[in-house]
Structure 1
């Protein structure tokens, strides 16, 4: 597993990390402690040193699983969590006291004295424009409750706004072969400002694994069911904003382009890693085998310039017009 730095003077992270939304049971499947720990342990055994979670994933369950794992390992694992989507604050009840309480709960769940990275969790643009939340983050960093801070954002506009904030360590963004708009503006500016980039939804909620058909169904509690049209939160968080059936069609277009000896998942992850502004990718895993398979992309050679050009043209000509939601 290769590593990169998360922003200027930031800590080292594995190129492939682990997103833990799924083990919080928010994808329609419950996870026992043993199964969650098995996934986390497999990830670490295969070189992953960075976990991403949030206080609302399973109402703290994801953080608690990670905290239990941290008790059992002597590996140096960096954990990023998030604040801002809880029912007590979202969408317009943000206070410094509420942020402090959320930090204290996350510290308790994770069993640590300070959070490695606290990210604003897709909070409304208007709240970020006020600037108070960033002042609170700086204050808590000075207090030693958090080591670094960043923001998970939904749009280029929000990302650029955050890049103007003093002390911001990282941005978490949706970025994949089906969602390439960030390439020309946000990524270059983040790189110039030495702000780390954490990529979520690298497989577009599984579309880029190439295994779905138009008749594939999902559990009632899975966001790929209840949020497929943006009925619960930003539609971009599900299938990268594409209508499911169109996403399946577009994934089929990509299948013949997968290089020999590479899986479609590896193609999708390698494509992201080929953008040097990216610090780490956080695909989720519903099984130890998935966690193990994801890490292989770090060892693969870069994709050819010709393949990059082809994928860029497919996005421009076939994909972009179908993406819905804030982008």
Structure 2
């Protein structure tokens, strides 16, 4: 495992991180408490030190499990969490988005409750969870500064979503000097990541990018194939069939990234993201310890060559040679798609 620094915060993160949305929830398949704790411990033993959770995951349960797993190893891990959704006063209805509360008083209270669940005196990275650009005013920025000065947080981040897009939010985070921006970014969904690379370059910013969904919801690691029947509650079942059908065709054009005995497609998908200097950590969705064993080694496999990187770029420019709709034409963005249109991104798959 290799390690990188998040922005200019001095916070060190492992190149492959653990997205703790898979523990404490059933959105990626249900797993018992013992399995969840075993996975967290196994990840740390494999060199993964960056663990990314959120207070809304399982309404606090994910944070509790992370806190329990590392109660005696706190100094070995970098803990990130997210706040902004008011699940304390609003029930969760399936996968629907609950109301947010992005005001100083609520954020401070939410942080204190997260610290209690995580059984820690500070979090290394505090992220605003899917905050709209209009919600983050000077008072919010001042509150984040105060939390850092008080030693309750070490770095700030902005987690974008729930759909891909949200360029206005990422651009604002980079302009305001947030240490990290978390986004959906992978070989099949590249526009937004490319846009933020350009913003970072234009502003000469230090903000780090943290890609999630590096395997495009199971396509690139082949956990979702034409024969797969997704379980009840699995969030990936909400994507249209056309998206999967075109995705499987795109995957076949990327087979050149595999090297038998040296680099799997799942590893290559992460290695491609790590080839970008602005990327600090990639957070795949681990479902088993076998996933951890394979993907934790993504930084150790042969790096993608310039020829391979150029070939990926050419394929993406031509939509992998596929000329039909993938069922994901509708855009969701916090500013009604205006940020995407301004960036000349006409169509972009949602998360």
Same fold (TM > 0.5): yes
Task: Give the conservation status (yes or no) of the 8 Å contact 2:257–2:268.
Answer: no
Q: CA distance change for structure 1 residues 183 and 228 in 2, over 3 Å: closer, same or farther?
A: closer
Q: Distance in 1 between matches of 2:23 and 2:123?
A: 20
Q: CA deviation at 1:36?
A: 1.0
The aligned runs of 1:1-327 (5 Å cut-off) are: 1-73=1-73, 76-87=76-87, 88=89, 91=99, 93-128=101-136, 130-154=137-161, 155-166=166-177, 168-190=178-200, 192-225=204-237, 227-228=238-239, 243-260=243-260, 261-318=262-319, 322=326, 324=329, 325=331, 326=333
DSSP 3-state at the match of 2:218: helix
Q: CA deviation at 1:133?
A: 2.6
Q: Distance in 2 between matches of 1:93 and 1:13?
A: 28
DSSP 3-state at the match of 2:62: helix
DSSP 3-state at the match of 2:51: strand
Q: Distance in 2 between matches of 1:107 and 1:74?
A: 12
Aligned pair count?
Answer: 313
Q: CA distance change for structure 1 residues 256 and 304 in 2, over 3 Å: closer, same or farther?
A: closer
Task: Give the conservation status (yes or no) of the 8 Å contact 1:91–1:124.
Answer: no
TM-score w.r.t. structure 1 length? 0.88
Task: Give the conservation status (yes or no) of the 8 Å contact 2:84–2:101.
Answer: no
Q: Distance in 1 between matches of 2:229 and 2:67?
A: 33
Supply the RMSD in Å over aligned alpha carbons: 2.3
Listed as ranges, the gaps of 5+ residues in structure 2 are 91-97, 334-347
Q: CA deviation at 1:60?
A: 1.1
**CA deviation digits over 1:303-322, x for unaligned, max 9?**
11111111112212116975
**Greater mean deviation of Cα atoms: 97-106 or 177-186:** 177-186
Task: Give the conservation status (yes or no) of the 8 Å contact 1:28–1:220.
Answer: no
Structure with larger RCO (C-alpha < 8 A, sep 6+):
1
TM-score w.r.t. structure 2 length? 0.82
Q: CA distance change for structure 1 residues 119 and 298 in 2, over 3 Å: closer, same or farther?
A: same
Q: CA deviation at 1:84?
A: 1.7
Q: 1:234 corresponds to which residue? A: none
Q: CA deviation at 1:249?
A: 2.4
Task: Give the conservation status (yes or no) of the 8 Å contact 2:160–2:169.
Answer: yes
Q: CA deviation at 1:183?
A: 5.0
Q: CA distance change for structure 1 residues 92 and 119 in 2, over 3 Å: closer, same or farther?
A: closer
**Greater mean deviation of Cα atoms: 202-211 or 106-115:** 202-211
Q: Distance in 2 between matches of 1:274 and 1:74?
A: 29
Task: Give the conservation status (yes or no) of the 8 Å contact 2:126–2:155.
Answer: yes
**Greater mean deviation of Cα atoms: 114-123 or 317-326:** 317-326
